[in-house]
Amino acid sequence: MSYLGPAPVGDAGREWLWERLYPRNVRGYPASASGVRSTIEPMSADERREELKVLLQEARGCTRCPQLASTRATVVFGAGNADADLMFVGEAPGANEDKQGLPFVGSAGKLLEKLLGEIGLARADVFIANVLKCRPPGNRDPHPTEIEACQDYLWRQIDLIQPLVLCTLGNFSTKLLRGDPTGITRLHGSAEVRVIGPRAVRLYPIYHPAAALYTPSMLDTLRADFARIPGLLAQPAPDQPEPVPEVEPEVVQVAAAEPEVEESVREADQLGLF
Ligand code: URA
């Protein structure tokens, strides 16, 4: 199947993209994507980048959260290297991000960049996204209904970028991507292999940089957690789950009285199906 080519517009376009990103049996990731497997076909970096652009266009017109759609200045889709080994997921855009259309460009973003620099990486080396693509007014916490409505953009971004290390910043992204309410205080600094969508990734929860802005002890912890990232990137990619074979819908036939067939013939017929 080709993943390229012009997408139809409107509902047909959405279905077209959906079919290509989640062919067959992986539609509708649950809040916990662990264990979900797919038969998704491999794509080149260029194909994945093109698909990401299609997804961006879709997100730009999103009105799934009427309040956020009416108060946002821009949809902050995410930015960076579409072929990155390291992907960060924050919470939601703030005022600066909303204005510029880019994630983490305010003071938390400056800190993120500084910490990246300390481990020899630049913004351009990584991909940065958020749980929500639109700014919650007044920087309030994302509502559960908004997370629910927005999450499939994130799943699809992760699926296309295929990072080796997925670094969640703070509670919202950690809870969503782990599908579990355990908080960041317990989890930060320890990586685990998780199956996210169709593939396994090293999930690495750390504190949100905003939490470390004004608390020196938190900054020390965040810096120590950042220092483990190069080691995680140097590890071999985790073993990938076996693709689940495509399941053909069962055709139920109302059989007329069957003639007697020998067992060996039945077996031969069945083997012919595989
Ligand atoms: N905080 C976030 O979680 N995301 C941003 O993009 C900016 C600040």
- The pLDDT of residue 200 is 97
CA of 134 to the centre of ligand 1 (A): 10
CA of 104 to the centre of ligand 1 (A): 5
Rg (CA), the chain: 22
More confident residue, 267 or 254: 254
- The pLDDT of residue 3 is 27
| Residue 177 confidence (pLDDT) above 90 | yes
Cβ of 142 less than 6 Å from ligand 1: no
In this structure, what DSSP letter does residue 274 have? -
- E strand or H helix that includes residue 129: strand 127-130
Domain boundaries, the chain: 10-265
Please give the CATH superfamily to which domain 10-265 belongs. Uracil-DNA glycosylase-like domain (3.40.470.10)
- The pLDDT of residue 32 is 34
Q: Which residues contact 28 (CB under 8 A, 6 or more apart)?
A: none
Cβ of 94 less than 6 Å from ligand 1: yes
| Residue 271 confidence (pLDDT) above 60 | no
Task: For ligand 1, atom 7, name the residue with the nearest CA.
Answer: 104
Cβ of 168 less than 6 Å from ligand 1: no
In the three-class reduction of DSSP (H, G, I as helix; E, B as strand; rest coil), residue 154 is classed as: helix
Report the atom number in ligand 1 closest to the C-alpha of 102.
6
CA distance 251 to 206: 49
Best residue among 104, 113, 123, 184 to mutate for probing ligand 1, ranked by most atoms within 8 Å of CB: 104
Please state, as a whole number, how many other Cβ atoms lie within 10 Å of the Cβ of residue 122: 11
Report the predicted TM-score, pTM, of the whole model to 2 decimal places. 0.77
- The pLDDT of residue 273 is 29
CA of 245 to the centre of ligand 1 (A): 39
| Residue 8 confidence (pLDDT) above 50 | no
Query: What HEC string does 54-120 produce?
Result: HHHHHHHCCCCCHHHHHHCCCCCCCEECCCCCEEEEECCCCHHHHHHCCCCCCHHHHHHHHHHHHCC
Report the atom number in ligand 1 closest to the C-alpha of 90.
3
More confident residue, 213 or 14: 213
Q: How confident is the model at residue 252 (pLDDT cuts 50, 70, 90)?
A: low
Report the atom number in ligand 1 closest to the C-alpha of 131.
3
- The pLDDT of residue 53 is 95
- The pLDDT of residue 23 is 33
CA of 56 to the centre of ligand 1 (A): 18
More confident residue, 5 or 243: 243
